[in-house]
Copies of this chain bind each other. A is one copy, B any other.
Amino acid sequence: MLFYKEKGESAIGIFSHEEVACTAKWGKIRSMKRRATIAEIASAAGVSIPTVSKVLNQRADVAVATRLRVQQVMEEMGYVPNQAARALGGGRSGLIDLIISKPLDSEYFLEIIRGIEEVLHREGKSMVLSIVQEEADLERLDQVVNRSADGALLLLPRLYHDSVKKLQEHALPFVVIDPSVPLDPLIPSVGTTNRSGGFAATRYLLSLGHRRIGIIADTEHYLMAYERFAGYRSALEMHGIPLDPALVYQGNFHPEDGLEQTNALLALDNPPTAIFAGSDWQAAGAYRAVYAHGLAIPDDISVIGFDDVPLSRWLNPPLTTIRQPLQEMGRMATTMLLKLLAGEPLETTRVELASLLVIRESCAPHMAV
């Protein structure tokens, strides 16, 4: 979000300032049906989360005025320390909701699920898996959050502000995994460094001599795609190469989009010599288009992906890609949620794990014509 506001590029991203404002606002307007999170108390009191935790734990190192303000907010929210201690004291049902959205069609989801389950298993807790539609399925979300779970993990590639608000209404502690919209900084989330991943992918292609690099990214719908695009543009800028809008195509993470948009890129009068795909699966679609044009990878055109799911190793040639630490993201988000439930302070609410360039065989030096 901050990045977005700094750059103010509403022409390419659709995350309007109105939406950002709306996201920030619910910190003030949410209703506390069951229990508030530490983050909400902190937000309402205008203090940090560790400060609220200190007040809850009756620590001495909090200014008296601050302590009084936090306690007042807790009281206004119908919140007393005992109740808080119970709610924050480790969870009652031992169940954690994982709310995941369709299409659920890639190992991307499995890797994250494996990371989540690993931590829950270790902690003796269980995961209740619920699938919602790709669209904001508020009714389903309502059913899910009405359950007796202690907290929720959200893996919603098409997360909507409405969904976040809905969860806020239920006052269920939650952590967002790989958020696709800019979130209020108070909402705990775990993602990857999409921007630096996009930068690394593009810089690698530039280092191979490519100058016309096509990119397929759904910057209109996904924050992560937008950030990867921003990294792409930064890398071009650093190399003094002007952004050519003709090389920027909108496309979802699915192979069908990779196929269609690569076809469009290859049909250009001056086609790219390399393509930065939005995901490994989208890259699989790009491969199909390249082969259908009678071209070879990487001899005629280089392709780079994003994710490093198992597929990438088994495409022919093996796909060079940017690795997202998906299992680690699942583990980290779960650890954060359990901390929230235990009333422990989070070191930070917004975690971005490092992405990594994985070089395989789909990119080659560009031969000057």
Interface positions of A (Cβ within 8 A of B): 95, 98, 102, 104-107, 109-110, 113-114, 117, 121, 124, 126-131, 140, 143, 147, 255, 281, 284-285, 287-288, 291, 310-311, 313-314, 316
Could you say which residues of chain B place their CB within 8 Å of the CB of A114? 102, 104, 131
Q: How far apart are A115's CB and chain B's nearest CB, in angstroms?
A: 11
Which of B127, B129, B147, B284 touches A117 (beta carbons < 8 Å)?
A: B129
Residues in chain B near residue A143, CB distance under 8 A: 124
Could you list 6 further interchain pairs (A-B, Cβ under 8 angstroms) beyond the known A95-B128, A117-B130? Answer: A109-B110, A113-B129, A128-B128, A281-B314, A287-B316, A288-B316
CB distance from A237 to the nearest CB of B (A): 33
A252 CB → nearest B CB, Å: 14
Chain B residues whose CB sits within 8 angstroms of the CB of A105 once the complex forms: 107, 110, 310
Q: Are B128 and A126 in contact (CB under 8 A)?
A: yes
Q: Which residue of B lies closest to A284 (CB)?
A: B314
In angstroms, Cα B51 to Cα A30, docked, is 56
Contact between B130 and A126, CB atoms less than 8 A apart: yes
A126 to B285, CA, bound (A): 35
Q: In whole Å, how far is A188's beta carbon from the nearest beta carbon of chain B?
A: 22
Copies of the chain in the assembly: 2
- Min distance, Cβ A121 to any Cβ of chain B, angstroms: 7
Residue of B117, B124, B314 near A131 (CB, 8 A) is B117
Partner of A113, one of B95, B104, B291, B311: B104
The answer, among B95, B109, B316, for a CB contact under 8 Å with A316, is B316
Task: Name which residue of chain B comes closest to A127, CB basis.
Answer: B129
* A314–B277 alpha-carbon span in the complex (Å): 15
Contacts of A121 in B (CB 8 A): 130-131, 140
Shortest Cβ-Cβ A-B pairs, 6 listed = A284-B314, A129-B129, A117-B131, A126-B128, A127-B129, A255-B314
Residue of B nearest to A318 (CB): B288
Q: Considering only CB atoms, which chain B residue lies closest to A314 in the complex?
A: B284
* 12 A–B contacts from the bound complex (CB under 8 Å): A98-B129, A104-B110, A106-B107, A106-B110, A126-B129, A127-B130, A128-B129, A129-B129, A281-B314, A284-B314, A287-B314, A288-B314
Contact B126 A127 (CB under 8 A): no
- Give A109 to B110 CA distance when docked, in angstroms: 8
Q: Which residues of chain B come closer than 8 Å to A129, judged between CB atoms?
A: 98, 113, 117, 126-129
| Most B Cβ at <10 Å: residue of A147, A291, A313, A316 | A316
CA separation between A130 and B98, bound complex, in Å?
Answer: 12
The winner among A107, A255, A281 for most chain B CB atoms within 10 A is A107
- In the complex, what residues of B have CB within 8 A of residue A113's CB? 104, 129, 131
Distance to closest chain B CB from A203 (angstroms):
28
Chain B min CB distance to A1 (Å): 31
**What is the CA–CA distance of A43 and B126 in the complex, to the nearest angstrom?**
33
Whole-angstrom distance between the Cβ of A27 and the nearest chain B Cβ: 30
User: In whole angstroms, what is the CA distance A143 to B117 when docked?
Assistant: 14
Q: A104-B110, A291-B316 are in contact. Are A128 and B130 (CB under 8 A)?
A: no
Cα distance, A122 to B110, chains bound together (Å): 23
CB proximity of A180 to chain B, nearest CB, Å: 19
Which residues of chain B have C-beta atoms less than 8 A from A288's C-beta? 314, 316
User: Contacts of A126 on B, CB cut-off 8 Å?
Assistant: 128-130, 147
- In whole angstroms, what is the CA distance A181 to B281 when docked? 34
Report A242 CB to chain B, min CB distance, Å. Answer: 34
